[in-house]
Amino acid sequence: MPEGAFADGPVLVTGASGFVGRHLTREFVRGGARVRGLVRPGSAGLEAGVEPAPAGDLLDRVAVRRACAGVHTVVHLAARVHVMRDTAADPLAEFRAVNVEGTRVLVEEAAAAGVRRLVFASSVKAVGESTPDGCWTDAVEPRPVDPYGISKLEAEGVVRAVAGAAGMHAPILRLPLVYGTGVKGNMRTLFAAVRRGIPLPLGGIRNRRSLLFTGNLVAAVHAVLAAPAAARETFFVSDDHDLSTAELVRGIARALGRRPRLIHVPPALFRAAGAAGDLAARFAPVPLTTAAVDRLLGSLCRDVSRLRALTGYRPPFTPGEGLREVGAGFVKG
């Protein structure tokens, strides 16, 4: 039987067909919850056991209103996501249309439908890109540096204002890189490189990066929904065990049963290559620029002690366990 926030009716998950959405809805269904998924027309299918809401994007008030009918809990994942080379004429306007105004429509319609609880999945990019002076706490002043981060910070403000006025329990989780079975992007690229035995020039990197395994995200969502003290709060969330880039590669190698092939390259050489890339980027796209090097070498870690204190959040999986699950799925294909 479903427990806690899912015991009094269906839970609506926006973005339910995405990578994170599929993991969350699968676990919610396994826990006995009745789950409804809202996705855009033409999106991928939903997990088994997930009830499809009438298809529609977040700006379609009629579709959102129908999706919220009879729902007491919403987990809002849907967003226009960050991309490395955005080709939109006005990226900020595009991000705001979906991430800010779409969120406004959802929270307004949820409030009108009598939804009691809403978890908003924000991003660490709402705060910034690096933590050169130690890990961020929840009290850090946000300084987003790109259109995606700006839009997510503005969406947080919408949630606080609209949900707060409605008396809704509406915690916000600022997510780091989320990984799990089927992960794509840079994490998948690292898994592929390690599996193929490609030497990686990452052995000299001594940074700190906070990551979040999907199983731990599920636990965090349950924790903030169950804790009255979380009702109006914004939290960083992670595995609560930071890794350097080199440690991540070693963890991936263990998960795949491979030997890590790490080469020590001084950070100064990376920075010189990034500066050269900046010059080349004036004429054509290049993979290595100063900004890319900063992301590679820099730290981005979060202190989740406040989340633990107010909600009792305890990550049920270690990074090693999460990476092993990803590795098992990666080997299967």
* Residues known to be catalytic: 148
3-state secondary structure of 122: strand
Tokens of 241: 């065990």
In angstroms, rounded to a whole number, what is the distance separating the alpha carbons of residues 134 and 17? 35
Exposure string for 240-268, b = 16+ CB within 10 A, e = fewer: bebbbbbbbbbbbbbbbeeebebeeeeee
Pairing mode, strands 35-38 and 11-14: parallel
Pairing mode, strands 177-179 and 211-213: parallel
Amino acid at 127: V
Hey, which bits of the chain come out as E strands?
A: 11-14, 35-38, 50-52, 73-76, 117-123, 172-175, 177-179, 211-213, 234-236
In angstroms, rounded to a whole number, what is the distance separating the alpha carbons of residues 230 and 275? 44
3-state secondary structure of 109: helix
Question: Mapped to the 3 state alphabet, what secondary structure does 7-57 carry?
Answer: CCCCEEEECCCCHHHHHHHHHHHHCCCCEEEECCCCCCCCCCCEEECCCCC
In angstroms, rounded to a whole number, what is the distance separating the alpha carbons of residues 29 and 27? 5
DSSP string, 229-252: GGTT-EEE---S--B-HHHHHHHH
